[in-house]
């Protein structure tokens, strides 16, 4: 099983709804310090 998309809604600095397609080999998450980037990658 592979994750195809990630949906983020109103999480820290990600205001609104974002749909991130992760079908490729690499995923790059960019944002300011304290915006929740590590939480997107940690279980």
Residue with structure tokens 């980037």?
37
pLDDT, mean of residues 27-36: 75
The pLDDT score that the predictor gives to residue 22 is 80
Whole-angstrom distance between the N-terminal and C-terminal Cα of the chain? 17
CA–CA gap between residue 26 and residue 34 (Å, rounded): 22
Contact 31, 11 (CB under 8 A): no
pLDDT, mean of residues 2-21: 85
pLDDT, mean of residues 19-43: 72
Return all residues near 31 (Cβ < 8 A) that are at least 6 apart.
13, 14, 37
The pLDDT score that the predictor gives to residue 4 is 83
The pLDDT score that the predictor gives to residue 16 is 93
pLDDT, mean of residues 14-41: 76
What does pTM read for this prediction? 0.48
């Amino acid at each position: 099983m592979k994750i195809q998309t990630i949906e983020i809604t109103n999480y820290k600095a990600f205001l609104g709804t974002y749909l991130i397609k992760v079908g490729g080999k690499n995923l790059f998450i960019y944002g300011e310090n304290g915006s929740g980037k590590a939480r997107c990658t940690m279980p």
